[in-house]
Every structure is written in structure tokens, then in C-alpha cells.
Amino acid sequence: MEVTADGPTTIGMASRQRFRGKLPYTLSTVSTIVALEPPNRFEVEVVGDLRGHGVWTLTPHDDVTHVRFDWHVHADRPIIRVLTPLLRPLFRWNHTVAIRAAMRGLERYARSAHGAPLSGPAFAPTR
């Protein structure tokens, strides 16, 4: 996953994301912060190949922070909309692969930013 941002984290700030799993396509989105309650919560509106809304909630617990990301988006790329009824299991598998890679990257970033050693997985996907 690639991410670039326009500046500091403030309401109205936009960032661009490029997601890739194992299948031969990349999804591009732009997320704009629409609500910000540091350090516990922020919300984004998403446009691009995916369109919708995301909410990040961060909850400290002992020496770790639980991160919950609620993501409600729709695929706007026509080929994905057309193929989804036929290839749904393959798309779900690809989504799982991409999310796990993103979580590993986020974990490495969070731990390196705070000097914590990588001793085991801190993130687990939930549904």
C-alpha cells in the first residue's frame, strides 16, 4: 500500500492511497478527514475506485493501543462491479491478503515510531 498526504492531520486534509493484493489490479483512493478527535478517533470520506466512509477508533489498553477501522465503501471501478458476482470468493481472498499486508506495515510503522520491539502480531482482523 502506498500513501501520500497533503500536510498535517487536520480536518479537510486529503491523502492518496494505492492498494494492491495478489490479483493484477491496483485500487486508488483519496481520503479526506471530515472529523478529528485526537488522539482517539477520526473519520474520512473516500472517493476513487472505492467510495464511502471510514472511521478509525484508537483505544489505549495497558501498554498497547487497540485500533478499530470501520470501513463502509463501494467499488466504483466498472470492471470490478461487473465481475464481483462471478468472482466474489477470489476478491474476498485478495482483500484478506491486502488487509493483512497493510496491518503488518502499520504495525511496523507504529512500533518503529515508538521504539517498541517487534515481538509478535499486535493486529488481528475482525469482522
3-class secondary structure per residue, the chain:
CEEEECCCCCCCCEEEEEEECCCCCEEEEEEEEEEEECCCEEEEEEEECEEEEEEEEEEEECCEEEEEEEEEEEECCHHHHHHHHHHHHHHHHHHHHHHHHHHHHHHHHHHHHHCCCCCCCCCCCCC
Q: What is the pLDDT of residue 104?
A: 84
Does the predicted model carry a pTM greater than 0.95? Answer: no
Q: Which residues of the chain have pLDDT under 70?
A: 1, 113-127
Q: What is the pLDDT of residue 60?
A: 87
